[in-house]
């Protein structure tokens, strides 16, 4: 199984996530952008997810809600650039911290054995980034990447 690498150097406003998948860039792009599949992989295990909208195109927007016994957690953003099978640039905002918006760039790089997904999230400040890291985001990211790998294998 391919490992997920999370890089969050102290004193910087960014987090980088890298994972290799046994798929083509087209297969991975489809699964990561299909509104009907988002709830099957995005977010930590154990949370129920409702996708209100997920319009992956320049100028499109999204909103989804994760729910558990403690409450609901809504997220939203806007897609700024979308290049089929290559790139998605979007904003990301947890509605529980309005105005603390990150800019996320996701690239799909072909490799000899599949595709490398690389995501870089840039936060408005080091403090905001640190709060994100301290929130337990690592568990959610690793769960999401593992669930995505399983879904790509199933949808392949």
Q: What is the pLDDT of residue 1?
A: 63
- Evaluate whether residue 137 is within a structural domain: no
Q: Is 37 among the domain residues?
A: yes
pLDDT over 90 percentage in the chain: 88
Residue-averaged pLDDT of the chain: 95
The tens digit of pLDDT for each residue in 44-72 reads: 998 999 999 999 999 999 999 999 999 99
Residue 108 within a domain = yes
Domain that holds residue 50: 5-132
Give how many domains the chain has, as a whole number. Answer: 1
Q: Is 44 exposed, middle or buried (0-12, 13-18, 19+ CB in 10 A)?
A: middle
Question: What's the whole-number mean pLDDT along residues 91-113?
Answer: 95
Contact 152, 31 (CB under 8 A): yes
Least confident of 65-74, 75-84, 134-143: 134-143
Residue 11 belongs to domain with CATH number: 3.30.530.20
Question: Is the pTM higher than 0.85?
Answer: yes
């Amino acid at each position: 199984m391919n490992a997920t690498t999370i890089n969050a150097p102290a004193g910087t406003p960014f987090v980088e996530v890298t994972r290799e998948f046994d798929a083509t860039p087209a297969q991975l792009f489809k699964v990561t952008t299909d509104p009907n599949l988002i709830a099957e992989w995005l977010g930590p295990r154990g949370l129920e997810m409702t996708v209100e909208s997920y319009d992956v195109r320049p100028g499109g927007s999204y909103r989804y809600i994760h729910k558990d016994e403690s409450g609901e957690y809504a997220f939203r953003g806007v897609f700024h650039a979308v290049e089929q099978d290559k790139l998605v640039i979007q904003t990301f905002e947890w509605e529980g911290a309005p105005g603390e918006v990150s800019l996320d760039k996701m690239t799909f790089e072909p490799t000899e054995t599949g595709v490398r997904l690389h995501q870089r999230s840039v936060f408005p400040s080091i403090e905001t980034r640190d709060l994100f890291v301290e929130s337990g985001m690592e568990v959610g990211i690793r769960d999401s990447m593992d669930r995505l790998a399983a879904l790509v294998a199933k949808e392949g």
